[in-house]
Chain A
Amino acid sequence: MDPVVLFFLLGVFAKLARSDLRLPEALYETLSIFLLLAIGLKGGIELAKVPLGSVAVQAFAVLAMGFLLPLPAFAILRGLGRLSRPDAASIAAHYGSVSVVTFAVATTFLSKREVAYETHMPLFVALLETPAIVTGILLARMGTLASVRWRAVAHEVLLGKTLVLLLGGLAIGAAVGPDGIEPIKPMFIDLFKGVLALFLLEMGLVAGGRVADLRRAGVFLIGFGVVVPLIFACIGAIVARLVGLSDGGTALLATMAASASYIAAPTAMRIAVPEANPALSIGVALGVTFPFNITLGIPLYLRLAEALRF
């Protein structure tokens, strides 16, 4: 097993055993800024070399997938789970959006197995973050769209740190290229795995703290947190193959589709759909789907990508 995953499990263990281990909030913030910038930079370095036409087609397909993914999730939550409209819409938005850390773990998994992937994949992480949130809000607010604080939500999402740092990193990486990145490479590229490991220790503490929420969420949502990522991974893999991504790129897009947001979506949905219970969406996204994806999911998605060649 990858060491970063073991760090995560250590964090979960520490939380469940009630250890006094606690990372200072300032460190969490620093690590997450580092990771977002580093992922953006890495994706940007080669971006200038990729033909614009092929990226544009891929980007369009990824955006469309982002807008549509919440729809099947919403139907399952309403139909099978009998959840209220706001709760179903909010959870659907979380699952349609993307988890950057899950993506980061998937890239280290692929690198370790020497599976190549398109270097501009972080661009798709940035593209996948917002559309599902918009669809989620529309699903929750059908008929009463005027009541949504669109301006506050738009500001929160489009100028939130995730998009600013991911897109900022991509732009800086693309502007300076491989040679320009050399002076900051020891910090942002070489240290990446170590920082990710430390961040996952913190994520373990956070996920371990969500166990109480799961008791409230019930069996249906826990099952949802495992089955829906598998379905979404298939959708992601099919889209990836249709736009001509490699094995590695297909595994990564499958991982993105399978992952659930726990930073951008909770904040945006809290403002836009306050009556949705955040303990449900965050409990299942962080308590079930995130651990499932980084331990069992990612290896499965690589196999899926390798099996799905057309």
Chain B
Amino acid sequence: MQTHARKLLVVICEAALEKMLIEDARRLGAAGYTIADVRGSGRGGTREGAWEADRSIEMKVICEAAVAERFAAHVMATYCEHYSVTMYLDDVSVLRPEKF
């Protein structure tokens, strides 16, 4: 089976950023995204998702390496200073390259 190399960018952050991240992802060239509600703990404290201001999301974007880098750099510069953000990149293989 022929596969194609893409990047998976995962951003775990406060739910307050959701709308802005979606706008940013679209603007910087991502074709799509998947978002899930999550909870967890880190250096910034514990977020249990118990009510509105306590919610966290995990955003997954599969895209070309250049788009992933642009998006990641934008998130670093814009949000990382004042918001709780965890972010990582991974190499993934996709079957239908035109989707990403």
Q: Using a CB–CB distance below 8 Å, which chain A residues touch chain B?
A: 22, 25, 28, 149, 152, 155, 202, 205-206, 209, 212, 262-263, 266-267, 270-271, 274-275, 278-279, 282
Query: CA of A212 to CA of B82 in the docked complex: distance in angstroms?
Result: 20
Given the known inter-chain contacts A25-B37, A206-B54, A274-B82, please indicate yes or no for A267 contacting B49, CB distance below 8 A.
no
User: Are the CB atoms of A152 and B20 closer together than 8 Å?
Assistant: yes
Query: CA of A25 to CA of B53 in the docked complex: distance in angstroms?
Result: 13
User: Are the CB atoms of B50 and A209 closer together than 8 Å?
Assistant: yes
State whether the Cβ of B19 lies closer than 8 Å to any Cβ in chain A: yes
Query: CA of A246 to CA of B16 in the docked complex: distance in angstroms?
Result: 40
Closest-CB distance, A273 to chain B (whole angstroms): 9
Given the known inter-chain contacts A152-B19, A267-B16, A275-B82, please indicate yes or no for A282 contacting B53, CB distance below 8 A.
yes
Binding site secondary structure of chain B: mixed
The 5 closest A-B pairs by CB, nearest first: A274-B82, A266-B53, A270-B16, A206-B50, A275-B82
State whether the Cβ of B98 lies closer than 8 Å to any Cβ in chain A: no
Q: Which residue of A lies closest to B84 (CB)?
A: A278
State whether the Cβ of B58 lies closer than 8 Å to any Cβ in chain A: no
A contact residues around B83 at 8 Å (CB): 270, 274
Query: CA of A266 to CA of B48 in the docked complex: distance in angstroms?
Result: 16
In the complex, how many residues of chain B place their beta carbon closer than 8 angstroms to a beta carbon of chain A? 18
Query: CA of A28 to CA of B45 in the docked complex: distance in angstroms?
Result: 22
A-B contact count (CB 8 A): 45
Closest-CB distance, A178 to chain B (whole angstroms): 33
User: Are the CB atoms of B51 and A206 closer together than 8 Å?
Assistant: yes
- A28's partner among B16, B46, B50 (CB-CB below 8 A) is B50
Given the known inter-chain contacts A152-B19, A270-B16, A275-B82, please indicate yes or no for A25 contacting B50, CB distance below 8 A.
yes
User: Are the CB atoms of A262 and B45 closer together than 8 Å?
Assistant: no
Closest-CB distance, A216 to chain B (whole angstroms): 9
Query: CA of A206 to CA of B46 in the docked complex: distance in angstroms?
Result: 12
Give 26 A-B contacts (CB < 8 Å), ordered by A residue: A22-B50, A25-B37, A25-B49, A28-B50, A28-B51, A152-B19, A202-B51, A206-B50, A206-B51, A206-B54, A209-B46, A263-B51, A263-B52, A266-B52, A266-B53, A267-B53, A270-B14, A270-B53, A270-B83, A271-B16, A271-B20, A274-B79, A274-B82, A275-B82, A278-B53, A279-B45
